[in-house]
């Protein structure tokens, strides 16, 4: 993460907050207010009396994410699938040794204590990447999980049922064993992408992260658990998810924009915490653009991969206006193409993509108002809407609020495409307004 921060600082892309702020709502309030206007990352120089500088919204822009993986044409999904396939770029040898990256032992509660939403139970870690190994096969997995601070020895976490970490924990629990985990805050960026993405369970996400990195990633052994972690990670928390114990966690204001009530969730026993010298801490406001962009990495790449493996003409996938809604951009090849796209998209991810809208290549899929323009101008409300009832749409939905799927074919009607050609004022995309207006 530090190299990304250094690069963005060198380019003056950061909004810098020099005055002291408190982690109790104020930091999140500044972050939310800023994100309403801008995608700029924010650096808080002083949060309460913490020694950590706090960065937020680091990954909250598609353009930055594309830059970070070398998707020069702005097509994140396509570049991601290529990177995973091709094994990434040649590695620059790292001249630093892992032992040269000095670390200090710290107490868990000396991390910035950040409370985000009005009704949150208290301070949370929201950017923690959990590294754990499959107890049977030893395959390492990376995934984001929020963690509620309890004290220096304890965190409480939520494990969604479909996630690999949850499966590992259950396997360990069957043997009455704790599952060792390293929680990484401020890990190298390839680890962030590998943690956010959904990668098949039999593939090592650590290998994926190392493969897509252009720089050799130095590893160091943990002190209390049998795991290796990237040495340059800002904060490393070593711990164990305890078996057969759940304790109250929450309420917590989630990505869906409501509070998930307090419930019994898993407990992490913390064995040790280290941080780099002059450390940074990464804070992610749940439901923010940064949270959405990282969740989009998971859903959009999964849908794109399946679509591009099975159907022609798939250009890009985005989740707008939020991750419940998948939008697919295609180059229409035949009558009914968009309907096959919808069905394949629904089949490729059983959670989240509650709706799938298919648009042509002249629609900006990252702009929901443009996508909705296509729905209103190119789709017939009675013929181009596909409703699939009685299908679960989200794994945590006891009242079935998210059941059913909605598909909208917002592509130009087949055979009459020329009637739907988009109007164009030549030059309007490139005109320099400053040279016209006083």
Q: Which is nearer to ligand FMN, 160 or 312 (CB)?
A: 160
**Closest chain position to ligand FMN (CB):** 160
Among 76, 116, 144, 168, binds ligand FMN (CB under 6 A): 144
Residue labelled with tokens 């493996």: 309
Q: Which is nearer to ligand FMN, 146 or 276 (CB)?
A: 146
Cβ at position 194, least distance to ligand FMN in Å: 9
198 binding ligand FMN? (CB under 6 A): yes
Structure tokens at 317: 């996938």
The DSSP code sequence of 225-263 is SS-EEETT-SEEEEEEEEEEEEEEE--EE-TTSSEEPPE
Among 17, 21, 47, 159, binds ligand FMN (CB under 6 A): 159
284 binding ligand FMN? (CB under 6 A): yes
Cβ at position 60, least distance to ligand FMN in Å: 11
237 binding ligand FMN? (CB under 6 A): no
Instruction: Tell me the sheet residues that pair with 47.
Output: 21
298 binding ligand FMN? (CB under 6 A): yes
Query: Taking contact as CB under 6 A, which single stretch among the options 9-17, 71-79, 138-146, 331-339 is the one that binds ligand FMN?
Result: 138-146
Cβ at position 126, least distance to ligand FMN in Å: 6
Helices within 38-69 (DSSP H only): 62-69
Structure tokens at 36: 């309403």
163 binding ligand FMN? (CB under 6 A): yes
Cβ at position 165, least distance to ligand FMN in Å: 6
Binding mask 324-363 toward ligand FMN (x if CB under 6 A, else -) reads: ----------------------------------------
Query: Taking contact as CB under 6 A, which single stretch among the options 107-115, 152-160, 207-215, 306-314 is the one that binds ligand FMN?
Result: 152-160
Enumerate residues 6+ apart whose C-beta is below 8 A from 73: 79
Instruction: Tell me the sheet residues that pair with 220.
Output: 229
Q: Which is nearer to ligand FMN, 106 or 284 (CB)?
A: 284
Residue 218, number of CB atoms within 10 A of its CB: 16
Please state, in angstroms and rounded to a whole number, the distance separating the CA atoms of residues 199 and 302. Answer: 8
208 binding ligand FMN? (CB under 6 A): no
Cα–Cα distances in angstroms (integers) from residue 328 to residues 122, 136, 351, 379, 393, in the given order: 38, 38, 16, 15, 18
Crossing angle (nearest 10°) for helices 189-196 and 289-310: 60
71 binding ligand FMN? (CB under 6 A): no
Q: Are 86 and 253 spatial neighbours (Cβ–Cβ below 8 Å)?
A: no
Strand residue runs (E) in 66-199: 103-106, 124-125, 129-133, 140-144, 147-151, 154-157, 179-185
Please state, in angstroms and rounded to a whole number, the distance separating the CA atoms of residues 429 and 364. Answer: 13
Cβ at position 221, least distance to ligand FMN in Å: 23
Cβ at position 349, least distance to ligand FMN in Å: 10
Give me the residues that bind ligand FMN (CB under 6 A), please: 141, 143-146, 158-160, 163-165, 196, 198, 284, 291, 294-295, 298
């Amino acid at each position: 993460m530090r190299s990304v921060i250094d690069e963005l600082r060198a380019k003056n892309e950061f909004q810098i907050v020099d005055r002291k702020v408190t982690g109790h709502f104020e930091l999140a309030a500044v972050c939310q207010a800023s994100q309403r206007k801008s995608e700029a990352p924010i650096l808080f120089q002083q949060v309460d009396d913490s020694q950590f500088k706090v960065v937020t919204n680091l990954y909250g822009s598609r353009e930055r994410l594309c830059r970070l993986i070398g998707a020069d044409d702005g097509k994140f999904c396509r570049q991601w699938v290529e990177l995973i396939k091709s094994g990434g770029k040649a590695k620059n040898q790292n001249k630093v040794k892992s032992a040269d990256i000095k670390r200090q032992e710290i107490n868990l509660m000396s991390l910035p204590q950040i409370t985000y939403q009005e009704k949150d139970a208290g301070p949370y870690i929201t950017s923690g990447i959990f590294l754990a190994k499959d107890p049977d096969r030893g395959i390492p997995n990376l995934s984001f999980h929020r963690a509620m601070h309890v004290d220096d020895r304890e965190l409480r976490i939520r494990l969604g049922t479909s996630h690999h970490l949850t499966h590992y924990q259950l396997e360990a629990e069957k043997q009455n064993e704790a599952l060792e985990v390293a929680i990484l805050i401020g890990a190298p960026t390839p680890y962030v992408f590998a943690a956010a993405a959904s990668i098949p369970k039999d593939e090592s996400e650590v290998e994926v992260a190392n493969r897509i990195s252009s720089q050799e990633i130095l590893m160091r052994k943990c002190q209390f658990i049998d795991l290796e972690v990237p040495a340059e990670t800002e904060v490393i928390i070593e711990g164990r998810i305890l078996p057969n114990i759940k304790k109250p966690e929450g309420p917590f204001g989630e990505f869906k924009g409501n509070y998930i009530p307090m419930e019994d969730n898993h407990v992490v026993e913390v064995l040790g915490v280290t941080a780099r010298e002059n450390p940074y801490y990464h804070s992610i406001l749940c439901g923010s653009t940064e949270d959405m962009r990282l969740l989009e990495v998971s859903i959009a790449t999964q849908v794109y991969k399946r679509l591009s493996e099975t159907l022609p003409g798939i250009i890009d996938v985005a989740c707008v206006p939020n991750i419940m809604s998948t939008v697919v951009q295609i180059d229409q090849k035949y009558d009914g193409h968009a309907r096959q796209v919808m069905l394949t998209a629904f089949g490729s991810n059983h959670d989240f993509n509650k709706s799938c809208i298919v648009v042509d290549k002249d629609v900006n899929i990252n702009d929901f108002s443009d996508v909705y323009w296509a729905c209103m101008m190119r789709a017939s409300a009675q013929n181009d809407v596909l409703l699939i009832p009685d299908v679960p749409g989200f794994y945590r939905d006891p009242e079935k609020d998210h059941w059913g799927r909605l598909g909208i074919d917002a592509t130009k009607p087949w055979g009459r495409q020329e009637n739907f050609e988009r109007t164009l004022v030549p030059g309007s995309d490139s005109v320099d307004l400053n040279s016209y207006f006083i």
